[in-house]
Amino acid sequence: MAGHGEPLLVPDAYADGRFNPAYDTQTGFRTRSLVCVPLVAKGKSLGVIQILNRRDGRPFGEEDLQLAHAVASLVAVAILNAEEHEARLQAERLAAVGQTVAGTAHCIKNILAGLQAGSYIVDENLPADADGQVRYGWGVVKSNMGFLSNIILDMLNYSRARKPLCQPCDVGSLCEDVVRLLGEQAAAKGVVLTTRSEIGTVRIDETAIRRCLINLVGNAMDACGADGTVQVEVTRGESAGEFSISVRDNGGGIEPVAMEKIFDPFFSTKGGKGTGLGLPVTKKIVEEHGGRILVESEQGAGTVFRLILPTQPTAETHA
């Protein structure tokens, strides 16, 4: 009935063609006169105040409209101040939680380093004829140590802002290393990993991009199941000065509802098996490189994640 920020005065509702009497018909209420004013503060529309019928039965006039408009301005400022105050409190709470998480994760990472060092000693000295249950139990311990390590690394990467340490890196060899690292897990799942590259050396933060690839390839293997395939490909970008790393699987694809949330922190389609931080961390690392991440998925036909990265990052930290 009124444009953005425009107050409305209707002295005689049923004589005004802009008034819709349907509400009165449904409720039995009789609207005689009304005033409608928007709640706007700092250019932000927050709502509307609508006042129906004066108690003395007279129609609303211009003075009533001016008073309502003045009150609405004060109410809008109060609402906006309350929203901004709540946003500041929430930001402070999140910052405190982030600092606590980062500190805790760092301590756990140091403990894990000691556990992993101890596990190497156990592996070297575990008798070849050790009981099957012992070997199985030790395998469970190492598997969960790896899972915990992934959680901690993702928490550390997500909780702190950092500039990538970009140095020359043979990106094709990096992809081969990741495929080799995950080869045993892939074989156990019945998944075939392949990789190819049509470019050589670029400037990237090798450790960070390795983390991205481990996350993406691990997700792709989980999506495939037995007899699946995961391809890691490095190609030249469509634009000059860019290259692309693609991780493609032939799994079941991502549901449209989940597609809207996959980069939200702690959202996971894996239930208790996923941390919900792998993709947000990957996106964060790619954006820190000045790149972007694209996703294409089709139900029943698989998914491809593409990391579009600059060959020469403009904002980089040198060793």
Residues 66 and 175 in one domain: no
Residues 153 and 115 in one domain: yes
186: Cα separation from own chain's centroid: 26
pLDDT at 319: 40
Tokens found for residue 248: 């493609």
- Sequence-ordered list of residues with C-beta below 8 angstroms from that of 200, at least 6 positions apart, any chain: 170, 171, 172
Residues 150 and 179 in one domain: no
Q: For position 67, which CATH number holds?
A: 3.30.450.40
pTM for the model stands at 0.58
What would the pLDDT profile of 30-80 be if each residue is shown by its tens digit?
999 999 999 998 888 899 999 999 989 899 999 999 999 999 999 999 999
Residues 171 and 145 in one domain: no
Residue 97 lies in a domain: no
**Would you place residue 98 in the very low, low, confident or very high pLDDT band (cuts 50, 70, 90)?**
low
pLDDT at 270: 66
φ/ψ of 270, rounded to 5, equals: -100, 5
More confident residue, 30 or 140: 30
Residue 95 lies in a domain: no
pLDDT (average), residues 270-297: 83
The domain of 268 spans 167-310
pLDDT at 233: 95
- Sequence-ordered list of residues with C-beta below 8 angstroms from that of 283, at least 6 positions apart, any chain: 263, 293
pLDDT at 304: 95
**pLDDT reading at 85 higher than 80:** yes
pLDDT at 152: 77
pLDDT (average), residues 105-114: 76
Tokens found for residue 118: 């101890």
Residues 50 and 185 in one domain: no
Query: Cα separation of 216 and 196, whole Å?
Result: 16
Residues 203 and 261 in one domain: yes
Residue 94 lies in a domain: no
Nearest 10 degrees: Cα torsion 166, 171, 175, 178: -30
Q: For position 231, which CATH number holds?
A: 3.30.565.10
Residues 36 and 59 in one domain: yes
Residues 194 and 295 in one domain: yes
Residues 195 and 251 in one domain: yes
**Would you place residue 111 in the very low, low, confident or very high pLDDT band (cuts 50, 70, 90)?**
confident
Residues 174 and 211 in one domain: yes
Residues 212 and 287 in one domain: yes
pLDDT (average), residues 120-132: 81
What would the pLDDT profile of 237-281 be if each residue is shown by its tens digit?
888 889 999 999 998 888 888 888 888 877 776 655 656 778 888
Residues 206 and 289 in one domain: yes
As for how many domains the chain has, the answer is 3
